[in-house]
């Protein structure tokens, strides 16, 4: 066999070997989730001279999600996904005026998050543990009402609503279990953080979430 024939054979065999042994099946999935979140919201300690306590309170509320996933794109255990994640959180904000007067404000957060996620997931077999990270955008709706309210120049009334947009991130761990060739169920935990400006002041919400999910693999 000539050198030319050997070279041609090698360059023909290598791609075939690579594609045969390393190409992975790609799966598509959708799932829904529901659970509970508990967390805290932090703000800068001064708004127009009115002091908060930094950590403005710990609250909790329900969580819901809708996600689409692609498994095995370029690597067997790589999973990429788009997720809509919603949570509601109720908390209490403590405010003190420059004169020392104190007030409490009941605050409700409705937070819609649009996330891009990447995870390492055991995609073969019937049990699929995974861990991943996500980044995205949060739309944070705030509704608040004061009790024994002081005059607060940042807003004209003791009741108000407003919506702000900011960045979001999360890290998560979980496990899915196949029920049959298409349906699966699982559970996950995640640490979630999002930030926005309210009255020109940076506010950050941090949440620990526990959810159960059910999904379908196409």
> What are the pLDDT digits (tens) for 83-110?
999 999 887 766 665 666 666 677 788 9
Residue 6 lies in a domain: no
Residue 113 lies in a domain: yes
**Strands 78-96 and 50-52: what pairing?**
antiparallel
In angstroms, rounded to a whole number, what is the distance separating the alpha carbons of residues 10 and 145?
74
Number of structural domains (the chain) is 1
Residue 119 lies in a domain: yes
Residue 19 lies in a domain: no
Per-residue pLDDT at 55? 54
Instruction: Say yes or no to pLDDT of 158 above 70.
Output: no
Residue-number span of the structural domain to which 53 is assigned: 25-217
Instruction: Say yes or no to pLDDT of 11 above 60.
Output: no
Residue 11 lies in a domain: no
H helices present in the chain, as ranges: 3-22
Q: Which of 70-74, 140-144, 150-154 has the lowest mean pLDDT?
A: 150-154
* CATH code, domain carrying 138: 2.40.160.20
Residue 105 lies in a domain: yes
Which of 27, 23, 17 lies closest to 125, judged by CA? 27
Residue 83 lies in a domain: yes
Burial of 70 (0-12, 13-18, 19+ CB in 10 A): middle
Global pTM value: 0.76
- Tell me the average pLDDT of the chain: 81
Residue 9 lies in a domain: no
């Amino acid at each position: 066999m000539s050198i030319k024939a050997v070279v041609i054979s090698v360059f023909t065999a290598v791609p075939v070997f690579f594609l045969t042994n390393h190409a992975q099946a790609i799966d598509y999935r959708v799932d829904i989730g529901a659970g509970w979140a508990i967390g805290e919201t932090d703000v800068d300690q001064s708004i127009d001279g009115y002091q908060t306590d930094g950590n403005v309170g710990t609250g909790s509320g329900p969580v819901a999600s809708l996600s689409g996933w692609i498994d095995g794109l370029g690597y067997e255990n790589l999973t990429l996904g788009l997720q809509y994640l919603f949570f509601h959180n109720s908390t209490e904000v403590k405010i003190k005026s420059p004169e020392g007067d104190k007030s409490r404000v009941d605050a409700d957060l409705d937070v819609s998050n649009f996330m891009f996620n990447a995870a390492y997931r055991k995609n073969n077999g019937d049990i699929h543990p995974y861990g991943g990270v996500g980044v995205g955008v949060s739309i944070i709706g705030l509704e608040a009402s004061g009790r024994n309210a002081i005059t607060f120049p940042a807003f004209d009334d003791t009741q108000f609503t407003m919506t702000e947009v900011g960045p979001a991130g999360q890290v998560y761990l979980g496990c899915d279990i196949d029920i049959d060739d298409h349906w699966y169920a699982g559970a996950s935990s995640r640490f979630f953080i999002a930030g926005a400006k309210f009255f020109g002041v940076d506010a950050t919400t941090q949440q620990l979430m526990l959810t159960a999910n059910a999904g379908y693999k196409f």
